[in-house]
Structure 1
């Protein structure tokens, strides 16, 4: 005999208002009222419909009538920040491709908050974008369910992983951290620390730290927790972090900063304080911003191909939207080590 769970209707590929009504055991008009005028529906009915919506991953279609049947020319792009130059360059790469292909971006900013990302996905999918590009591979279960049930091409960027929702273009932050560690060790540094901020939220920076740790373990060198701060990364924060870290651990002879903003701030502060770089302490960063080549000494950093990442991701997404490509695709966009005078 089959169990109640096995007799439960399968989740439909594209969830409609009718599917929600059937799951909740109510009429389609009741579901519509819950979505559009919830105050006119009793608490009991509203709870039943809401549970069905969440269970099925239903997203109300905001483009009604004739617009709903038209092909969408919008692509939803969700990033963690609109002030961080890293994401501005990625967005530029995406826009380069979408504009030529006749698509426009519908842009969302999560502010490194996965719950905010979930709310944005739930709200903006209702505008029926042709596809979705979003930063990272880490999302809430609700976000993943919404994206999977949307039946649209999904592209995750910024990091490379084995299990994307659909498509993926990015780089391995573990390997990037490991690569910088190998460089520092090859230069003779033995007391190496990592400085980053809000690492619980910026988990890609934490992956770089883990890669550094893996390198240090391989060389039987001391591993220590990352030196962290809880404010937004900036040159000023990097300058202050340099002094605090050297006060706390004067034995350090090399510092790998989570990004170039922090590293450049540290270089400027070291110059002001008369701290010799790299003789007293080596300083390295991540991102490959141009300013790193202008400071003295020039910054050693990992260069991530941000604009090209956006271009490749958008090209793959457009191909899927146009049904010119099928199946899951993953691309490791890679990175390069730019050796400066700071190490």
Structure 2
């Protein structure tokens, strides 16, 4: 991916943020009616409410919740939106963000989406209304309502965890390359019937990107089949145990499983002892993220180590530089990854 200059990406920078009058004009009602919609929605007829809500979404309006002379000022609060707070991956990212922000007098406002883009829109509408100084949001994929809001919002934004064409700043790693690297490792070890196992890949699309890299590596080795087990529910270690059992039953010739994350991979390793499966002699197991648990299971897990805390720190530094009017360098910052070879492959 080619680097972009600081001035080339953000065409929205300097755009006028939509006002209450813009909403009224779009809805074909008075600004007083729009104000009444916010302050006393029950007093507005349903048909009018629907028109106002449609106009709000279309123009990307965010209500400023700080009244009076403070309404045009930025607070020292920075919202951070992540998919999950039960996943240690995002806890590590938050740690890096929080330490950098607090060192510069900013406080973090935290929200989780549960991998739901509509919920992301709701969080952004609420958080930006408090005159946030900037925004950190996970991923590059947003629904149209979110994109409309952020295109008209004049404060800096950092999208984290992946790389690509974003709204503003972008800090992460190449997930396709990570998936490709692990599968190349498995191929180099002599494994040929390699399955990829994940859960809810339609929502966990970064895992789906790693599967795309997995397929690329197999195709480059002349292997056309790239079997995928996509479980319907994400249950961390339990999902890994289920995946091992199902793949062993349906594809007894499978000699390696490339898991979407370490939780599933470690769940498979723990289940293997109960099932009488020897790893890696009967089947190899590989993961992603480089979580500490992978170093404590037997055999030690082969995994891709993602730079989670560093992603948080670099994202925070770039956002703070933009807030303070300082140069940020490259808009997209690739922090890379590390292949850590254990005994499970």
Into which bin does the TM-score normalised by the smaller protein fall? over 0.9
The answer as to 2:250 corresponding to 1:248 is: yes
**SS in structure 1 at match of 2:185:** helix
Contact 2:74 2:131 in 1 (8 A): no
What is the match of residue 211 of structure 1? 213
Contact 1:191 1:222 in 2 (8 A): no
What is the CA-CA distance between 1:17 and the residue it aligns to? Answer: 1.6
What is the CA-CA distance between 1:328 and the residue it aligns to? Answer: 6.9
Structure 1, unpaired ranges of 5+: 1-10
What is the match of residue 37 of structure 2? 34
| Match 2:169 to one of 156, 167, 170 | 167
What is the match of residue 143 of structure 2? 140
Which stretch has the larger CA shift, 146-155 or 233-242?
233-242
Superposed CA deviations along residues 297-328 of structure 1, whole A, max 9, x for unmatched, are 11100000100000000110111111113687
What is the match of residue 316 of structure 2? 314
**What is the Cα-based RMSD across aligned positions, in Å?**
1.7
Describe the shift of the 1:231–1:46 C-alpha distance in structure 2 as closer, same or farther (beyond 3 A): closer
Contact 1:160 1:330 in 2 (8 A): yes
**SS in structure 2 at match of 1:58:** coil
Determine the C-alpha separation between the residues in 2 that align with 1:324 and 1:165: 19
Q: Which has the higher contact order (CA 8 A, sep 6+)?
A: 2
| Match 1:158 to one of 156, 161, 169 | 161
Describe the shift of the 1:40–1:203 C-alpha distance in structure 2 as closer, same or farther (beyond 3 A): same
What is the CA-CA distance between 1:44 and the residue it aligns to? Answer: 4.7
Q: TM-score, normalised by structure 2?
A: 0.92
Superposed CA deviations along residues 187-233 of structure 1, whole A, max 9, x for unmatched, are 11111001101111111111111100010001011423411212223
**SS in structure 2 at match of 1:95:** helix
Q: How many residues align?
A: 332
Contact 2:218 2:226 in 1 (8 A): no
What is the match of residue 196 of structure 1? 198
Contact 2:318 2:328 in 1 (8 A): no
Structure 2, unpaired ranges of 5+: 1-13
Contact 2:83 2:112 in 1 (8 A): yes
